[in-house]
Chains A and B, each alone.
Chain A
């Protein structure tokens, strides 16, 4: 409960983050049973995350009143300072910008999804929090940004911090619907 977000004034609903963490753990456990192969679990988590992100972005835009971002740096700021704060109660730091400004890293000191987790040795290729990648990808796609999102470092695998790498691929252009002149 302690590190829940307090943004958005009176209408923002709060929930124990433990409920979320444990539910997510149960989901990963179930997927591991269903698939046996870690790669498939990673893929499935990413896909579920994508489907969540596609809807979550609407909730985010409605609640935050954030307008359209004009560059990737602004996008990074909104993700780290507003969105992560609102939904996970943490504020990752933004580092390691590529010279072209099209890639950056989110550094999470503590990842709320992994609070009670210890990875067994036989799941070394499991990307436990891979749902987050899908969420970020799906949400950004809805605001016309194609991005590549992946975990580079993970405290679950013995790294000091968790690092999510975001790479801007291209801007998705508006199209006139087919059959329109």
Chain B
């Protein structure tokens, strides 16, 4: 099992943070373009899912998977979005994405008054904590899944 990469978006679509661990294939476009493309797709999926759902939804969009990878999506009521790509073997990780929000983002960005909230996160401490949190996940492995 493995974790490929992770995106954090704010409520306005700004990519606050991007980390990469095991990504063999790059998008072939600039990172800025990639972030916009990713956010645009997420935005569309959210509205698609809410319009297509035949019943009232509680959680909305949670994940999708292709033949090779799985994208996990978690959104807080304040609009922060945590997006993690893993291989197919990983189950529901909403709780883990919530932990990234509450133990890492809130603790090291929101509670740091020097970190602006609507701009890309520069804090070294945040990066390190996030990196070690993700590396300690049971399904993190440097070996390709």
Which residues of A lie under 8 Å from residue B19 when comparing CB positions?
none
Q: A67-B77, A142-B78, A176-B43 are in contact. Are A59 and B111 (CB under 8 A)?
A: yes
Which residues of A lie under 8 Å from residue B14 when comparing CB positions?
177
B interface footprint on A47-77 (CB within 8 Å = 1, 0 otherwise): 0000000110111011101111100000000
- A58 adjacent to B80 (CB under 8 Å): yes
Q: What is the CA–CA distance of A174 and B77 in the complex, to the nearest angstrom?
A: 12
B 10-46 contacts with A by CB, 8 A:
11-14, 36, 39-40, 43
- B43 adjacent to A61 (CB under 8 Å): no
Residue of A nearest to B14 (CB): A177
Q: What is the CA–CA distance of A38 and B43 in the complex, to the nearest angstrom?
A: 45
- A63 adjacent to B39 (CB under 8 Å): no
Which of the residues A143, A175, A176, A180 comes within 8 Å of B77, measured between beta carbons?
Answer: A143
A-B contact count (CB 8 A): 56
Interfacial residues, chain B to chain A (CB-CB below 8 A): 11-14, 36, 39-40, 43, 58, 76-80, 98, 101-103, 105-106, 110-111, 117
- B77 adjacent to A68 (CB under 8 Å): yes
Determine chain A's interface SS by DSSP, over half rule.
Answer: loop
Residue of B nearest to A180 (CB): B40
Give the one of A58, A63, A179, A181 with max B CB within 10 A: A58
- B106 adjacent to A59 (CB under 8 Å): yes
Q: What is the CA–CA distance of A54 and B109 in the complex, to the nearest angstrom?
A: 13
- A58 adjacent to B79 (CB under 8 Å): no
- B13 adjacent to A177 (CB under 8 Å): yes
- B110 adjacent to A59 (CB under 8 Å): yes
Q: Tell whether A12 is near chain B: CB-to-CB under 8 Å.
A: no
Residue of A nearest to B113 (CB): A55
Q: List 17 A-B contacts (CB under 8 A).
A: A55-B117, A57-B78, A58-B78, A58-B110, A62-B76, A62-B98, A62-B102, A67-B77, A68-B77, A143-B78, A174-B79, A176-B40, A176-B43, A177-B12, A177-B36, A179-B36, A180-B39
